Structure 1
Amino acid sequence: MNKHPEYLLNQISGPTDLKKLNLDQMQQLAQEIRTLILEKDAAEGGHLGPDLGIVETTIAYHYVFDAPKDKIVWDVSHQTYPHKMLTGRALAWLDPDHYEDVTPYTNPDESPYDYYAVGHTSTSIGLATGMAKARDLMGGHENIMALIGDGSMTGGLAYESLNNAAIEKHNLVVVVNDNQMSIDNNVGGLVTALKKLRDSNGETKENPFTAMGFDYRYVADGNDIKSMIEAFEAVKDVDHPILLHINTLKGKSYKPAIDEEEAHHWVMPFDLKTDKPLAPASDAPTASSVALDVVSGEIENGTNLMAIDAAIPGVFGLDRIKKQYPDHYTDVGIAEQESVAFAAGAAKEGAVPVLFENSTFLQRAFDQLSHDVAANDLPVVMMVAGGGISGTSKTHLGIFDQVMISNLPNWIYLAPTNLAEEKAMMKWAIKQRKHPVAILALGDMYAMLGEKVADKLGATLANPVSANILDKDALDKLAKENKVIVTIEDNTLDGGFGEKVASYLGDQDVKVLNYGQKRVYTDQVPLKNILEDNRMTVDQIVADVKNA
Structure 2
Amino acid sequence: MVEYLLQHIEFPSDLRKLKVNQLPQLAQELRDFIIDIVSVKEGHLGASLGVVELTIALHYVFNTPNDLLVWDVGHQAYGHKILTGRKSVFHTNRQWNGISGFPKRSESDYDTFGVGHSSTSISAALGMAIASQLKEEDKHHIAVIGDASIASGMAFEGLNHAGVTDANLLVILNDNAIGIDPSVGALKNYLTAVKEGKNPKVNNMIKSLNFDYSGPIDGHDLFALISELERLKKVKGPKFLHVITTKGKGLQKAEEDQVKYHAPGKFDKITGEIHLKEESHLPPKFQDVFGLTLVELAEQNEKIIGITPAMPTGSSLKFMMDTFPERAFDVGIAEQHAVTLSAGMATQGMVVFCNIYSTFLQRAYDQVIHDVALQNLPVIFCLDRAGLVGEDGATHHGVFDLAYLRCIPNMIIFSPRNEIELRNILYTAQLGLNHPISIRYPRGRGEIVDWQQPLQKIEIGKATLLKKGSKVAILSNGFIGRNVTLSFAEIDNAELFSHYDFPFIKPLDEEMLHQIFSNYESLITIEDGTIIGGFGSSIAEFKSKYNYKNDVQILGIPDQFIEQGTIEELQPYCEINVKSLVSILSTY
Q: With structure 1 as the length reference, what TM-score do the two structures score?
A: 0.94
TM-fit CA distance, 1:290: 2.2
1:8-157 matches, within 5 Å, as 8-93=5-90, 101-157=98-154
Question: Per the alignment, in what secondary structure is the counterpart of residue 494 of structure 1?
Answer: coil
1:383 aligns with 2:382: yes
TM-fit CA distance, 1:405: 1.4
Residues 76-125 of structure 1: per-residue CA shift (max 9 Å, x gap): 01101111111121223479999974211111222111112210000000
Residues 108-151 of structure 1: per-residue CA shift (max 9 Å, x gap): 22211111221000000000111111111111110111111152
How far apart in 2 are the matches of 1:205 and 1:75?
A: 24
Query: Which structure dedicates a bigger proportion of its chain to helix?
Result: 1
* Structure 1 residues 396 and 95: alpha-carbon distance in aligned structure 2, compared to 1, 3 A threshold: closer
How far apart in 2 are the matches of 1:25 and 1:128?
A: 30
2:401 partner letter: D
* Structure 1 residues 44 and 467: alpha-carbon distance in aligned structure 2, compared to 1, 3 A threshold: farther
The aligned residue for residue 510 of structure 1 is 550
1:274-353 matches, within 5 Å, as 275-282=273-280, 284-353=283-352
* Structure 1 residues 471 and 344: alpha-carbon distance in aligned structure 2, compared to 1, 3 A threshold: same
The aligned residue for residue 564 of structure 2 is 524
* Structure 1 residues 198 and 305: alpha-carbon distance in aligned structure 2, compared to 1, 3 A threshold: same
1:413–1:468 contact (8 Å) kept in structure 2 = yes
How far apart in 1 are the matches of 2:505 and 2:52?
A: 45
2:555–2:576 contact (8 Å) kept in structure 1 = yes
Residues 492-513 of structure 1: per-residue CA shift (max 9 Å, x gap): 1100011111111231132111
- Between 397-406 and 128-137, the greater mean CA deviation after superposition: 397-406
2:354 partner letter: L
How far apart in 1 are the matches of 2:163 and 2:94?
A: 45
Question: Per the alignment, in what secondary structure is the counterpart of residue 354 of structure 1?
Answer: strand
1:461-540 matches, within 5 Å, as 461-506=499-544, 507-525=547-565, 527-538=567-578, 540=580
Question: Per the alignment, in what secondary structure is the counterpart of residue 154 of structure 1?
Answer: coil
1:485 partner letter: L
How far apart in 1 are the matches of 2:79 and 2:255?
A: 18
TM-fit CA distance, 1:546: 6.4
The aligned residue for residue 422 of structure 2 is 422
How far apart in 2 are the matches of 1:376 and 1:313?
A: 27
Aligned-residue RMSD, C-alpha: 2.3
TM-fit CA distance, 1:205: 4.8
* Structure 1 residues 522 and 205: alpha-carbon distance in aligned structure 2, compared to 1, 3 A threshold: closer
* Structure 1 residues 540 and 63: alpha-carbon distance in aligned structure 2, compared to 1, 3 A threshold: closer
How far apart in 1 are the matches of 2:59 and 2:110?
A: 11
2:265–2:274 contact (8 Å) kept in structure 1 = no
2:217–2:225 contact (8 Å) kept in structure 1 = no
The aligned residue for residue 466 of structure 2 is none
The percentage of aligned residue pairs carrying the same residue is: 34
- Between 530-539 and 248-257, the greater mean CA deviation after superposition: 530-539
TM-fit CA distance, 1:357: 1.1
* Structure 1 residues 540 and 200: alpha-carbon distance in aligned structure 2, compared to 1, 3 A threshold: closer
How far apart in 1 are the matches of 2:171 and 2:328?
A: 33
2:415–2:503 contact (8 Å) kept in structure 1 = yes
Question: Per the alignment, in what secondary structure is the counterpart of residue 513 of structure 1?
Answer: strand
Matched positions, count: 544
How far apart in 1 are the matches of 2:514 and 2:301?
A: 43
How far apart in 2 are the matches of 1:262 and 1:369?
A: 29
How far apart in 2 are the matches of 1:164 and 1:25?
A: 39
TM-fit CA distance, 1:62: 0.8
* Structure 1 residues 317 and 526: alpha-carbon distance in aligned structure 2, compared to 1, 3 A threshold: closer
How far apart in 2 are the matches of 1:515 and 1:98?
A: 24
TM-fit CA distance, 1:544: 4.3
- Between 143-152 and 390-399, the greater mean CA deviation after superposition: 390-399
* Structure 1 residues 490 and 170: alpha-carbon distance in aligned structure 2, compared to 1, 3 A threshold: closer
2:14 partner letter: D
How far apart in 2 are the matches of 1:33 and 1:484?
A: 57
- Between 358-367 and 268-277, the greater mean CA deviation after superposition: 268-277
1:196–1:206 contact (8 Å) kept in structure 2 = no
1:171–1:239 contact (8 Å) kept in structure 2 = yes
2:164 partner letter: I
1:75–1:147 contact (8 Å) kept in structure 2 = yes
The aligned residue for residue 267 of structure 1 is 264
How far apart in 2 are the matches of 1:454 and 1:154?
A: 51
1:146–1:173 contact (8 Å) kept in structure 2 = yes
1:214-225 matches, within 5 Å, as 214-225=211-222
* Structure 1 residues 96 and 295: alpha-carbon distance in aligned structure 2, compared to 1, 3 A threshold: closer
TM-fit CA distance, 1:211: 1.2
Residues 433-455 of structure 1: per-residue CA shift (max 9 Å, x gap): 40111111351111123552498
* Structure 1 residues 519 and 505: alpha-carbon distance in aligned structure 2, compared to 1, 3 A threshold: same
How far apart in 1 are the matches of 2:292 and 2:186?
A: 31
TM-fit CA distance, 1:10: 0.9
How far apart in 1 are the matches of 2:485 and 2:543?
A: 20
1:427 partner letter: Y
TM-fit CA distance, 1:52: 0.7
Gaps of 5+ in 2: 442-476
How far apart in 1 are the matches of 2:151 and 2:482?
A: 39
* Structure 1 residues 61 and 317: alpha-carbon distance in aligned structure 2, compared to 1, 3 A threshold: same
